[in-house]
A and B are shown apart, each in its own frame.
Chain A
Amino acid sequence: MIAEIVQHLLTNYYETTAMVLFGIGFTSLLMHRNIIKKIIGFNLMDSAIYLFLASQGYIQGRLAPVVTSGTDASLYVNPIPTGLVLTGIVVSVSVTAFLLALTCRLYDRYHTLDIDEITNIARKEQD
């Protein structure tokens, strides 16, 4: 049973890696007190998903679906996963930019990157 599970995990090593990375990213986004580390965690989490998607779309020996005359269509891979990765990257870039801008503002105001410390200071100050 366990040997079988390990065998499956090793066969689909891309997916396994992606899930491990997702877990690491998710926990750092949730747990870390430092905002920059949170942002790194977020990027790790999203990249893990892109790795998962890209590995779904990759078939060894097949070609990128660029139409040229004389190529057999059955040699092409499905272009959609790659397209989704690109769209996803655009989304995570904009979210990262937003987070970094927010971090700049927080740092300007509180001179620290520790979210717990910032929350404590903010709680004491008046509106």
Chain B
Amino acid sequence: MELVQNFPFLTIVLSLTCGVFCAVLKAKGARRLCLIWLTAAFVMSLLTLLYTLRTGDYYVYMMGKWSAPWGNEIRVGILEALLATVFSGVMILSLLGGMEHIFQDCPSQKINLYFTMASLLMSSLFALIYTNDLFTAYVFVEINTIASCALVMLKYSGKTLVATTRYLVMSLLGSGLFLLGIVTLYSITGQLLMEPIAAEVQRIWAEGTYSLPLTVIIGLFSVGLAVKSALFPFHSWLPEAHGSATSSSSAILSGLVLKGYIIVLIKIFYRIFGLQIIMTEKVSNFLFVFGIVAMIFGSLGALRQKDVKRLLAYSSVAQVGYIYVGIGLNSRAGMLAAIVQIVAHAITKPMLFISAGGFMEVSGGSKAMPDITGAGKRDPLGGIAFSVGALSTVGIPFFAGFIMKLQLTSAAVESSTPRMVIALIAIALSTLLNALYYIPTLYNIFTNRQDDKFQDVKAHYRWEYVLAVVTFIALNLSFGSFSQHVVGAINDGLAMFGM
């Protein structure tokens, strides 16, 4: 075994350890430790990615060398390593970009806990990406829930407290259903690792016994994880939680946390049940329909917002809809589009939230639309980043969002006729709506103010903010221009996924 093969396991465990140490350090020390560790985790994930690209095959890492039915496993392929690299990179940039606000918004004696929670969150995201064991997935889903709620709550205000409570209650409902799904599946298959379950499920399916329980289980998993990833009818908690948190938290929650659950759902669908069963059970139809509705209604919700962060949060609801439409197309091309959207949204939405944080700073801390008028002129770098993010989400060529829409459209064209028509209309409509709320916002942040409020305010650029924003812009443009490599890697990764 090569040294590189240990890295995925180390990133999970050492992130947990880093969180523990951050809890006993002072704010500055915790910040330093957390950033150093996250950079190390990013490098390790990158090395893992290069290793899997070189070998062109996945490998299974057994904990304590116990083999399949007894031990716990993580499974590392190109897709997993790629997602881990992107997620850890985005995590670092989101923390850097909102660093000043973390120190302003959190009570001073509790800032170190922010980094504790960020490390725990990173650890759970790594685990959700890599794990091969359903119960481990459940435990890390709960760690993810607690850590992300704490990230919202650490900005101490009435709004965040209420938002956290609603977020936590909805998340717990979701994880209750998810746990019930795991337990029921365990009771009919007797396995917890994905490959043995998949074998058992295929056997049960072929025999035709337990077909009702299987339907119920798929339903439990889908509803549970859809609640947690804010698919349309269950999205009510999201705008409040993502809109009221400090800018780093909003960036991390929108960009990464939602995706963690979707990745688990994708793994359950395609590694345990397989396309055939999912198609016969018609679950993908439900996800497809709700995804379409989310694309439209998320954008309509965003149109009504008078507050830039809530606008971005509603836009996330619509973007999650795109992922579910990709999954719901129930084809390999659809999955490819869904994963491309996971990556594209993970690098776009945090940039928008970070630049919105920059606007708030030059607008007296307000995020209301009238107050941020002209903010793009007072904070030119944030203005450019917001424009790039907005244009990318609308789907202008050479930006990341365009690649996603291209993939999704071509996947839709390949699918059966009714789906193709619905998906194409929805994509067109949603693009139009995206433009309808992003273009006025862009216009707003670049117009001159009528009054002389905030006239003398100039952005003080700190290196963290500049580094984060410039890297985000570069990432978005390079993903948009050189997408064939990333899409190719995702395609190879999906092949390893057994699709």
From residue B233, how far is it (CB to closest CB) to chain A in Å? 13
Given A29-B176, A95-B146, A119-B162, A53 and B183 contact (CB-CB distance below 8 Å): yes
Q: How far is the CA of A118 from the CA of B192 in the complex (A)?
A: 41
In the bound complex, residues from chain B placing their C-beta under 8 Å from that of A46 are 176, 179
| A49 in the interface (beta carbon within 8 A) | yes
Query: Chain A: which residue is nearest B136 at the CB level?
Result: A87
In the bound complex, residues from chain A placing their C-beta under 8 Å from that of B159 are 122, 125, 127
Q: Contact: A127 with B176, CB < 8 Å?
A: no
Of B164, B183, B244, which is in contact with the most chain A CB atoms at under 10 Å from its CB? Answer: B183
Chain B proximity mask over A66-89: 1 for CB below 8 Å, otherwise 0:
000000000000001100100110
Q: How far is the CA of A94 from the CA of B61 in the complex (A)?
A: 29
Residue of A56, A80, A95, A115 touching B165 (CB-CB under 8 A): A115
Chain B proximity mask over A107-127: 1 for CB below 8 Å, otherwise 0:
001100001001101100101
In the bound complex, residues from chain A placing their C-beta under 8 Å from that of B145 are 95
In the bound complex, residues from chain A placing their C-beta under 8 Å from that of B177 are 26
Q: How far is the CA of A119 from the CA of B163 in the complex (A)?
A: 9
| B173 in the interface (beta carbon within 8 A) | yes
Given A91-B139, A91-B142, A95-B146, A49 and B162 contact (CB-CB distance below 8 Å): no
Q: Contact: B161 with A45, CB < 8 Å?
A: no
Q: Contact: A49 with B142, CB < 8 Å?
A: no
From residue B137, how far is it (CB to closest CB) to chain A in Å? 12
In the bound complex, residues from chain B placing their C-beta under 8 Å from that of A63 are none
In the bound complex, residues from chain A placing their C-beta under 8 Å from that of B164 are 102
| B158 in the interface (beta carbon within 8 A) | yes
| B169 in the interface (beta carbon within 8 A) | yes
Q: How far is the CA of A76 from the CA of B344 in the complex (A)?
A: 51
From residue B223, how far is it (CB to closest CB) to chain A in Å? 11
| A105 in the interface (beta carbon within 8 A) | yes
Q: Contact: B158 with A125, CB < 8 Å?
A: yes
Q: Tell me the count of chain A residues lying within 8 A, CB to CB, of chain B.
A: 36
From residue A87, how far is it (CB to closest CB) to chain B in Å? 6
Chain A proximity mask over B173-206: 1 for CB below 8 Å, otherwise 0:
1001101100110110000100000000000000
Of B142, B172, B365, which is in contact with the most chain A CB atoms at under 10 Å from its CB? Answer: B172
Residue of A30, A56, A102 touching B161 (CB-CB under 8 A): A102
From residue A7, how far is it (CB to closest CB) to chain B in Å? 17
In the bound complex, residues from chain A placing their C-beta under 8 Å from that of B139 are 87, 91
Q: Contact: A102 with B172, CB < 8 Å?
A: no
Q: Contact: B186 with A49, CB < 8 Å?
A: no
In the bound complex, residues from chain A placing their C-beta under 8 Å from that of B365 are 127
In the bound complex, residues from chain A placing their C-beta under 8 Å from that of B192 are 80
Given A45-B176, A95-B142, A56 and B157 contact (CB-CB distance below 8 Å): no
Q: Contact: A118 with B135, CB < 8 Å?
A: no
Q: Contact: B173 with A127, CB < 8 Å?
A: no
| B149 in the interface (beta carbon within 8 A) | yes
Interface residues of A in 10-43 (CB under 8 A from B): 22, 25-26, 29-30, 35, 38, 42
From residue A55, how far is it (CB to closest CB) to chain B in Å? 9
Query: Chain A: which residue is nearest B150 at the CB level?
Result: A98
Query: Chain A: which residue is nearest B153 at the CB level?
Result: A102
Query: Chain A: which residue is nearest B149 at the CB level?
Result: A98
Interface residues of B in 369-387 (CB under 8 A from A): none
Provide a sorted-by-A list of 9 A–B residue pairs whose CB atoms are within 8 angstroms.
A26-B177, A49-B183, A80-B192, A91-B138, A91-B142, A102-B153, A106-B165, A122-B159, A125-B159
